[in-house]
Amino acid sequence: MTGLAVIRPGPLSLLQDAGRARWQHLGVSPGGPLDIHAAAWANHLLGNPWGTPLVEIALGGVELESRLDTWVALCGAELPIAVDGESRPNWSSFPLRVGQRLTLGFARSGQRAYLAVAGGIRVGAVLGSVATQTREGLGGLHGDGQPLRAGDLLPCAPASLPGMAGVPWRFVPDYRAELGLRVILGGYAGDFSVAERRRFFAQAWTLSPQSDRMGMRLLGEPLRAPTRQWSLGVTTGTIQVPPDGQPIVLMADRQTMGGYPVLGWVHPLDLGLLAQCPAHRTLRFERVEVEAVQGEMREFYRFFGR
């Protein structure tokens, strides 16, 4: 099969889809895109169904050569996009002809871009998903959890679309804006004192450079966490507070169980904004009720056909 040849893979480029469901009882993390908002729009611009395999590109620095006539879409981090040296807009779809080179510079705002191809990247699934999980050695182009490398070929089929499409401006995030992430209190929040819960929301936190696809670590005035002696299941967006009092927000490549006290959960759509933050960025949290989150997520999934 033909496809897109990887000339330069960038610092970390990973195949992702909707994630690896129904294996968490065996300790397998779900994976999937860190920014579901940007990934969903990239596929939607091409008419691809929810969860169609695409590439999550960290920071940029990617160059691909097309071996076929197709269409691609890019959403996410603000970075220079060019086809044979001619600029292309972000948060849009555009054609890519045989022999043309797609070049992505390094991100000026945001951290991750999502590259979708019309019809999707056609790779065999491992445990029901192509999501790349480097820690567990699962998924990806070769099924071994490895990032893309120079010389790889992203298999896809020729495609023709009627014309370019773009995301309406009101749905394009400003990754430079002051960041306030919405949080649903729960889990063992009741075991934290009222003063500690207030302190969590009142102070500004800094994103640690020790953050990755497994978890985003926060730095600030430590919280006093209650003592726990047993583990419990965790989900993406869970806010854990370890003994040092510095919260951790669990992301797509998280573990499936944890013993640290759970303060609550970050809104699923705000996790994408968190994933787009550079290290040392300041952020705050605000409380939101679960009913409001449920309504917004139902609307989001309904629009994207999940």
Q: What pLDDT is attached to residue 187?
A: 86
pLDDT in tens, 36-84: 999 999 999 999 999 999 999 999 999 999 999 999 999 999 999 999 9
Distance (Å, rounded) from C-alpha 119 to C-alpha 121?
7
Question: 100 with 82: CB under 8 angstroms?
Answer: no
Distance (Å, rounded) from C-alpha 211 to C-alpha 205?
13
The second-level CATH assignment, the architecture, of 179-304 is Beta Barrel (2.40)
pLDDT in tens, 135-179: 899 999 999 999 999 999 999 999 988 888 999 999 999 999 888
Average pLDDT of the residues of the chain: 94
Q: What pLDDT is attached to residue 306?
A: 78
pLDDT band at 230 (very low <50, low <70, confident <90, very high): confident
Place of tokens 């292309």: 88
- The residues near 173 (Cβ < 8 Å, ≥ 6 apart) are 37, 110, 272, 273, 276
pLDDT at 229 over 70: no
Name which of 86-95, 202-211, 230-239 the model is least confident about.
230-239
Distance (Å, rounded) from C-alpha 304 to C-alpha 306?
6
End-to-end alpha carbon distance in the chain: 28
* pTM for this prediction: 0.96
Query: In the chain, which residues fall in CATH 2.40.100.10?
Result: 179-304
Q: What pLDDT is attached to residue 100?
A: 97
